[in-house]
Amino acid sequence: MKTYSFLPKGVCARKIDFEMDAEGRLHNIKFTGGCPGNLQAIGKLVEGAEAEKIAALLRGNDCGGRGTSCADQLSLAIDEALQNR
């Protein structure tokens, strides 16, 4: 299992850490900063899910007209991880 870290932009979360296994499934998603309850829920909901499907599902979610959200930033983090695995 490989560990990834991502520094999100335009959101309250300051860092996203997660692991991806050899089959491309997500594990141990952790956000630093942001809305703890919501971000813990995202981590629980996507645990063990296929990275490509989760990135597609979360891509484009907007938070308060920012043009992005913590979920959207997670999709970018996943895309980057998929390119670098």
* pTM for this entry: 0.96
Contact at 8 Å (CB) between 54 and 68?
A: no
Show pLDDT as tens, one digit a residue, over the chain (85 residues). 999 999 999 999 999 999 999 999 999 999 999 999 999 999 999 999 999 999 999 999 999 999 999 999 999 999 999 999 8
Distance, CA of 43 to CA of 45 (rounded, Å):
6
Residue 81: helix, strand or coil by DSSP?
Answer: helix
Q: In sequence order, which residues have a C-beta less than 8 Å from that of residue 55 and are 6 or more positions away? A: 74, 75, 78, 79, 82
